[in-house]
Amino acid sequence: MTRLQSTFAKPHPALVAFVTAGDPDVLSTPAILDALVEGGADIIELGMPFTDPMADGPAIQAANIRSLSGGTKTADVLKIAADFRVRHPAIPLILMGYANPMTIRGADWFADACVSAGVDGVICVDIPVEEDDSLGDALRAKDVAVIRLATPTTDAARLPAI
């Protein structure tokens, strides 16, 4: 059973907490993650900062800009993830972000990096289900969960595909 499956098998709803890596800075992010776990988070979503976070609201957009202004890179996010995994071996960790940083070096590279960092799943907000093969196949081949988002406007016909 994976960490995600174990978490969702518990007899209570899962508390999922999100933070953008590198906000307010890379060195503060591990302590923020630890505080989320200590506060009861069952799953951590670690945001990968991106220059054009169009699917996010103003608060997360601002966090992305602060993070990138501080120089956060994909390598920093993966290091934060790997270090988190050592400190919290049982807590599921999800990377959430946009396609460009995830696919720029190739889907296989990103999938391997996720495995090396102990990442349990990935939410890529701007790859629609119709283009899943651009990243999803590589992640699933490495047993990294591909997590899709449905919006309040997702209709009943599209929901099964998502």
Of 44, 42, 46, whose CA–CA distance to 10 is shortest?
42
DSSP state of 50: -
Report the chain's terminal Cα–Cα distance, integer Å. Answer: 23
Catalytically active residues are 45, 56
Residue 162's Cβ-side half-sphere holds a number of Cα atoms within 13 Å equal to 18
Side chain identity at residue 124, one-letter code:
C
Which ranges of 9-98 does DSSP label H, i.e. alpha helix?
29-38, 58-69, 74-87
Identity of the amino acid at 106: G
